[in-house]
Amino acid sequence: MVTEIKAVARRHLATDGANLSLRAVARDMGMVSSALYRYFASRDDLLTALIIDAYNALGAAVEKADAAVGERGDFRGRFLILGRAVRQWALANPAEYALIFGSPVPGYAAPANTVVAAQRTPDVLLGILVDGLAGIAVRAPAAELAPALRADMTAARDAIAPSLPPDVFALGTIAWIHIFGAVSFELFGQLNNVIDARDDYFDYQLRQIADLVGLG
């Protein structure tokens, strides 16, 4: 039942965007709006469920794409596949992407449940770096981390990818942020009337970032 509600809500999300109407969802299900409150305490609750689903769907798509790569030792190739998987999922589910990576709604605060689902995709990226580090394909980065920043990076990698040097971990966050930035830039319309060869452009960016990270 809740899955059916979420399915209909997802359909509405795809057409109407983030301003999801509970009444419209109920109408589509032949119910009255108050009936939905048996399954979701509020509209925000429904949105939270959709957000967690979206994080998991993206994470699953990326995990599947990386797992399908035969040559596990081709770390640069795996990174490119990962980036493309993120973008493909975003292009296929723009509303859900905007839900999790777009501007947050004012009063809304993401519950702790979301973080584990949100971590799946960056986890895959860090996994590639961990594997690549073992194969010494990842070069040592040339940049300097300020002390406070180094402490943050060390603490974060301790919790997520203990075997990664903080400098490599930091470069991984840059890669993740740029993938997010590039997809958002395209999806939110900032590329309109400027760049048409979007597949090529995204790949170009991935290669540049791979170089920056040291995935040669």
Partner DNA sequence: CGATGCGCAAGAGCAGTGCTCTCGAATGTG
Partner DNA sequence: CACATTCGAGAGCACTGCTCTTGCGCATCG
What is the end-to-end Cα distance of the chain in Å, rounded?
Answer: 49
> In whole angstroms, what is the distance from residue 85 CA to residue 59 CA?
10
Considering the complex, what minimum distance in angstroms separates the CB of residue 111 from DNA? 15
- Only one of the segments 19-27, 173-181, 190-198, 202-210 lies at the binding site for DNA (rule: CB under 7 A); that segment is 19-27
Q: Which of 194, 195, 179 shows the shortest CA–CA distance to 89?
A: 179
Nearer Cβ to DNA (35/115): 35
Considering only residues 6, 10, 13, 22, which one is a binding residue for DNA as defined by CB under 7 A? 22
Phi then psi for residue 48, to 5 deg, are: -60, -45
- Tell me if 208 contacts DNA by CB under 7 A: no
Nearer Cβ to DNA (31/69): 31
Residue type at 89 in one-letter notation: W
Binders of its own copies: how many residues, by CB under 8 A?
A: 54
> In whole angstroms, what is the distance from residue 209 CA to residue 181 CA?
12
Contact positions with DNA (CB under 7 A) in 125-154: none
Nearer Cβ to its own copies (163/190): 190
Nearer Cβ to DNA (30/162): 30
What is the b/e burial string over 16-48, where b = at least 16 CB atoms within 10 angstroms of the residue's CB? eeeebebeebbeebeeeeeebeeebeebeebbb
C-beta separation of 201 from 190 below 8 A:
no
Helices 120-134 and 43-67 cross at an angle (nearest 10°) of: 30
- Only one of the segments 34-42, 108-116, 147-155, 179-187 lies at the binding site for DNA (rule: CB under 7 A); that segment is 34-42
Helix (H) or strand (E) holding 209: helix 198-213
Give Cβ neighbours of residue 69 (< 8 Å, ≥ 6 apart). 77, 78, 81
Nearer Cβ to DNA (44/123): 44
Contact positions with its own copies (CB under 8 A) in 41-100: 98
From the list its own copies, DNA, none, pick the one residue 68 interacts with, judged by a Cβ distance below 5 to 8 Å according to partner type. none
- Only one of the segments 1-9, 39-47, 77-85, 184-192 lies at the binding site for its own copies (rule: CB under 8 A); that segment is 184-192
Binding region for DNA (CB under 7 A)? 1, 20-24, 30-35, 37-39, 41-44
Binding site residues, its own copies, CB under 8 A:
15-19, 98, 101-107, 110, 115, 142-146, 148-149, 151-153, 156, 170-171, 173-174, 177-178, 180-182, 184-185, 188-190, 193-197, 200-201, 203-205, 207-208, 211-212
